[in-house]
Amino acid sequence: MSDGFERSLEERLCRYAAVDTQSDETVASSPSTPCQLDLQGMLVAELERIGAEEVTLTDYGAVLATIPATAGGDAPVMGWLAHVDTAPAYNATGVKPRVIRGYNGGTISFPDAPDLALTPEVSPALADKLGHDIVTASGTTLLGADDKAGVAIVMTAAEHLLANPRIPHGRIRIAFTPDEEIGRGVDARLPADLGADFAYTFDGALPGEIEYETFSADQAVVRITGVAIHPGLATGKLVNALHLAARIVETLPQATRTPEVTRDREGFWHIYQMSGTAAEAELKFILRDFELAGLEATGEMLRRVCDAVAATEPRAGIEVTIRPQYRNMRYWLEKDMTPVDLARDAVRAVGLTPRSVPIRGGTDGSRLTELGVPTPNIFTGMQEIHGPLEWISVQDMALATRVALELAGLAAGGRGPGQA
């Protein structure tokens, strides 16, 4: 079924994806990179053009806007969110989006990377997309459908409601956030500024998926101070910080506790950055588990390994710092599943079967839920994210847009948290 959303979604995604918005965790400002404001400025102008109200760019880099209510009664205020930044994990400069129309089931090649190939064998979800319009990048960058597809979906649904004021719905608040990929998408001021009773992030994958359980997440930084000296004079004196760093990584359990060997509800530790010199080195880890006890145990395991390595070389200094990033939204949503139930009804209304699987990651909704705004996650269709094979179906994006509109109608019936 086509609602005429496909061309609008395609145009928006390609336009947004071409703007470099990669975030950078090494920068403390918000947003962490000024290029994110390039897209945020475009979105402010677009929201104003389509008739949204209370369009604001906050001083922490989020864009907020309002779709005014058209229904009477006490409908709850719903939030729609998506993030504008792309992951630091892969090149995001010079993205060249392209559309493969009417996908025929074969191999998708990439003009800027002739040896790269996207097939149903590589990405099984592609096998179900015969006849779909598939958007990819050109082979040397990620696409950025994570989460510019979500931005396009929210913007397209907003435009539809604003152009059709006879459709009954409550007040809807829109937020486009920066820095989600580095765990800083939800500023402490956002819940109050958003002013929503509950919300949805559009930042998921397969059609029909509604996610309300995420990892709990910590970041760990290990700083190692060695003893520096000219290597020609090093006998009995040099303590090489890089050697100690390598020993820490090698001592940690790799056969059972890293991302590449874990699945489903299994947690992991993951080293994602190692830097330094023989004098000083730094290791950065993410720690993940669905249960807080497991997350704490992983952190304690890292500390024990660092202590054991430190004991072998008392002249060195090894410091471990662990900070919380986000927590499993299930801890709060399971107390009132109404937002999840609404999403399931909306998914059924567009002809899909709702499915809920734990996210082996997190969303802005993780932190928002923890701060008092229940926020499950809705699919967009994005696949193979954070790399050159990233792709998305325009038709799947259209399904997500229809889900957003169904949610608006359902909430107009007064169904919000505590109102079911």
Mean pLDDT of 328-339: 94
Domain architecture of the chain: domains with CATH = 6-214+328-411 (3.40.630.10), 216-326 (3.30.70.360)
In which element (H, E) is residue 251 found? helix 241-251
Residue 417 has pLDDT above 80, yes or no: no
Residue 418 has pLDDT above 90, yes or no: no
Q: What is the pLDDT of residue 419?
A: 44
Query: Which residues on adjacent β-strands are paired with residue 288?
Result: 217, 268
Residue 416's pLDDT band, with cuts at 50, 70 and 90, is: very low
Q: Which of 10, 20, 85, 313 is catalytic?
A: 85
Cβ distance 57 to 128 under 8 Å?
Answer: no
Residue 2's pLDDT band, with cuts at 50, 70 and 90, is: low
Residue 315 has pLDDT above 80, yes or no: yes
In which element (H, E) is residue 302 found? helix 292-311
Q: Which of 180, 187, 364, 396 is catalytic?
A: 180
- Report the mean per-residue pLDDT for the chain: 95
**pTM of the entire predicted model:** 0.90
Active site residue 336: no
Backbone angles phi, psi at 174, to 5 degrees: -110, 140
Instruction: Tokens for 378, please give them.
Output: 């809705």
Q: What is the pLDDT of residue 420?
A: 41
Active site residue 250: no
